[in-house]
Structure 1
Amino acid sequence: MKTITNFLFLLVAAVCFVACEKDGDKIYLNSIEAGDLMASESEVVLSQDNSKDIVLSLAWTRDNLAVSDPNVSTPDLITMTLQASTASDFSSAVVESLETSLSKVYTGANLNTVAKNLGATPDVANTFYFRLMSKTGSNMEPVYSNTVTVSITPYTIDMSVGYVLDTKQADTGLTLYSAASNGDYVGFMGVSGWYNYYLKEGDGTIWGNDGVTGTAFLMSSENDSDKRWNFWFPGRSGCYYVDVNTSKKVWSALYIPSLTVAGDVAGEMTFDRANVKWTLTFNAAQAGNVNLKVSGIGRLYDYSTGTEKSDTDENPGIETPVGFVQSGENLTFGGQAGDITVNVATAGECTLVIDLSNPKQWKAEVTSGSSEPEPVRETLYMLGISEGEDSWTFDNHLRLYDEDNLGYAGVADVNSPWGYQIAIEDGNWGDVYKLGEGDANAGTLAFGTENNIPAPDGGLYFFDVSLKALTYKLTALGSEIYVAGLNKLEDETWTFEPLPAATTAGVFSGSITITQPSAWSFKIYLFDNNWDYVYGGNGGKLYYKGNGITDDATLAPGTYTLAVDLIHATYTIE
């Protein structure tokens, strides 16, 4: 056993020496004593079914520094590293993880990733060896625990598919494709402006935006919310060709505002964002093959352009020609358009469809009849929310803010003894949503049922309705709303400044002082220190979860009156 007499010992035990040398005693700090390592299983068979389950646990006793005087305690100087290898002497590839506790658990996905990184053969039993390496410093020899052996059968990891996750890292059902399984994932996505997402690879690695620099389109896989943010698209809604390259740690979004068809069929195509398809309805004089070309001018956004102000002409992206070329039964995408031949089954009204929903197979086809996508409704109507039984109107609106989830929001001054209904068309009393299940605060909607949606006690309420999930939720407003972001530079923290209620229901008004344009614009928040309920706007109109208000950039420094009308979704600065 080695006796430590170097600088490390002097630092750790200096006080002990001073105290003990009065009695003529010396204390010796010796090398660490290895702990014992144990495994919960000796054999593990992995599959997609148990990828989220805990399949293996390792535990160990604490490694301790030995000291000659049992009455003297030692500081915690030990670093512990768990090692895994397919070689019993750990001479080949080793996967390491720094540990701070006395145990480690693996889910099926975690353990399968370890197996992949060690080059284990999928779908057969492989012998794995685990041990704990402990050290007291970079200049000291490590001490190893006993080695435990576990038979692990990994499953094949498909690195050709990248899974699009939402902001809560839940699977959206959307995917990108890497044909060479080399970490470069591409595909088309139909998204709303500023859409946020993460990308998960087949080995479980989750990629997002580099949170350290905060630069758009640079990537990070750090499992830390401060170091890895979600990706975000530019502020333009529509069709994007997306390229996420995990080896280069960059991604790009090529916005395609329109596609033009030329040849035997001609016209401007319409994008069906929900189904990631482009369509064009035409009349075919006869059945048979038709030849055409599909092209357009895209706008490329990448780390050189960023996304700031990308919903305006100030950041239009890089002009990029785009087109499709036929390759066998499928389409390829690039900078030039090539000949495409499609078959028309019968004469008459037909629809040309460019289907981009499957990243492994883009295709062109002609279907009979018209299949133009139904436009998304911009407005819903709350019948009976603020009137008596005999005076219901279509004057109270909910406005679209989330096209993907058909989310609508708005504020109303509730006075509804009979409950209310949600109509989808102005003047149409028959096509309405009523109560599925729930109470005055939240619940589900059902189309054409018997009972009205119950209303809460009178007052001002914020409504959030999803026609995709068929849900509703109400939140009572207080006597103040808040302004944040005025006069702020890029690195300054936003503070919430109150805006009190006026005498008119739904209107809030107060003085604001403008000293300089805000670097990020400013916004209206419904509740103090709550970032979720937020309005942006422009041109005097408010938009729930919209872009910030930039009027301060055109106003001279001074004091102004800001009036916000939440019911009519408007604002004025005078």
Structure 2
Amino acid sequence: MKKFLKIIAIIVSLLGLHSCSNDLEMATVTKPEDGVFKLMSSADNVTLEKENADSQTAITFHWDKSWYGIDTPTNFTVQIDSIGGDFSEPVVSELIDNEKSYTHAELNYIALKFELDPDVEGQLKVRLKANLKYGVMPVYSDTKVISVTPFSTLNLKYAMPGALYIQGDAVATNWSYPIPDEQTMVQIDDHRFGLILNLVGGKNFAFITSSSGWSDPAYVAPDSTVPAEGGEFIPSGSNTTPAWGGTPMRSPADSGTYKIIIDFVEGTYSVEPEPSIMAVPDELYIIGDATPLGWSTGPSQKFTKVDDFTFAITIALTEGKYDFISALTWSDPAYKAKTGSEPLMGGNFIESGSNTVPAWGGSDITAPAPGTYTITVNFKSGTYVLSL
């Protein structure tokens, strides 16, 4: 009996040693220093192509899986950010394998999200995050910079010109040159130009790309049946079919102030009455319950003046409304959406005050989904545009 108990004691002792051995093995799991592991890629410079963009692989990232000293399940997250970002709001891909591929379409979406210009080489930075189960022991690789040339996802009906002017007997120049700044259109975004100006009723105008003479091509109405409030336009030049086709647009019957928008995706233009040509304030602020300061404002919500007509700010927005004002307290006039149905990512705005017609007209602007946006406000075209 004593011999049997001794054998049992030896077995228990051996089991205890085995348990200690497991504990010792677990203790060898160590967290490496950030930047020790290298993120590798199949390329450092990628020109993205639109053809077969959803099926072609643009770049593959790969890495060593043994980050923690032993073979243990590890979660990986590829993080991509703008070259000036701090990885606080990256595009992420979570996986457990040791490589991640992106198609041309996927990488193009990321490049455009971080505002790289189409057909221009730009840069993104990439890093890898690793952690054990439940987010334990997070650690980061080195940061890798890649050069990316994205393609435009716009289906432009006509190529977007670099500059655009209005000419005709409906405007002040009356077909003469040079064209003044008052007839120089503002590029609103990547497919539209706009301008608020005075038109003489019952006359004609066209869009041209030169301030010193008629351009080849110019942009005109396809025929005289296009309404005065707008419609389709066509390029007209020596290489169009037919050559120098079309006719100048007609202005509305009544002389007055109008906003003209021309859209190179749709191939259309519009002419809408405006209360007046807006004076540009010295300063501009954003205010509203969609902003961090609510319906008060402060220096942190002041726009930067970009040029004589344009202001811009980058700010976090939540669900709610906002307006623009020209002082730290509510201003007269303030600047509101022209209608209550302006698109969430930008639209038309008007002056709204005690002396406007109607007094305090317009609508509070509706914010898009919560996020950080750059808002660009242009007083020459009476438009605002949001971009992530």
TM over 0.5: no
More strand by share: 1
TM-score between the two structures when normalised by the length of structure 1? 0.23
Using CA pairs below 8 Å that are at least 6 residues apart, which structure has the higher relative contact order?
2
More helix by share: 2
